[in-house]
Amino acid sequence: MFNKKDESKEQKTQQKAIETKPPQQQEAKSEAKKSNVVSQRIATENAVFKVLKEHKINYVPGNGKAIEHITSEMRKLMIDGICEEFKAKKVEFRDTEANRAKLADDQTLRTYVSGLLGNWLRRSPRLNGTGDKK
């Protein structure tokens, strides 16, 4: 077990680590918490659920593979929705030169989002039929 001195040292170390982060990282994290910014995984899952619901497909998250219900038309709608959220800055996206270039060019952003959608359709337990456990 830790004694009080060890706990105090650990707390100081953690505080020091927080203080030594670059101000941009501290600001970005606090900014994300202030607004309603969601992770890319959540944005993708929400877009899939929304489009499936709009097409009156009763999909239960984690129960079967969502991709089995998705047509190419539905996939385009999902990509459009996710792209709009990226442009509205509702999705986490680091402020790098490469990411700014993606946001500036619609086709590049669509290509990125298409890959993102395919990735989460395979990996997300809520979308690939493996349940909510990670």
Q: How confident is the model at residue 32 (pLDDT cuts 50, 70, 90)?
A: very low
More confident residue, 62 or 55: 55
CA distance 108 to 98: 10
**Alpha-carbon dihedral angle through residues 102, 106, 107, 109, given to the nearest 10 degrees:** 40
Condensed to tens digits (0 to 9), the pLDDT of residues 105-116 reads 999 999 999 999
Residue with tokens 């395919």: 118
CB-CB contact of 133 with 54 (8 Å) = no
Flag whether 134 is in a domain. Answer: yes
| The two structure tokens encoding residue 128 | 């690939």
Flag whether 17 is in a domain. Answer: no
**Alpha-carbon dihedral angle through residues 104, 107, 112, 113, given to the nearest 10 degrees:** 100
Comparing 23-27, 87-91, 122-126, the range with the smallest average pLDDT is: 23-27
CB-CB contact of 38 with 91 (8 Å) = yes
Report the domain count for the chain. 1
Flag whether 26 is in a domain. Answer: no
Flag whether 15 is in a domain. Answer: no
Flag whether 20 is in a domain. Answer: no
Q: Which domain holds residue 111?
A: 37-134
Flag whether 61 is in a domain. Answer: yes
Flag whether 72 is in a domain. Answer: yes
CB-CB contact of 50 with 43 (8 Å) = no
Flag whether 125 is in a domain. Answer: yes
- Closest by CA position to 81, among listed 49, 127, 34: 49
Distances (CA, A) of 2 to 9, 17, 45: 10, 20, 42
Predicted confidence at residue 129, as pLDDT, reads 83
Q: Is the confidence at residue 132, as pLDDT, over 80?
A: no
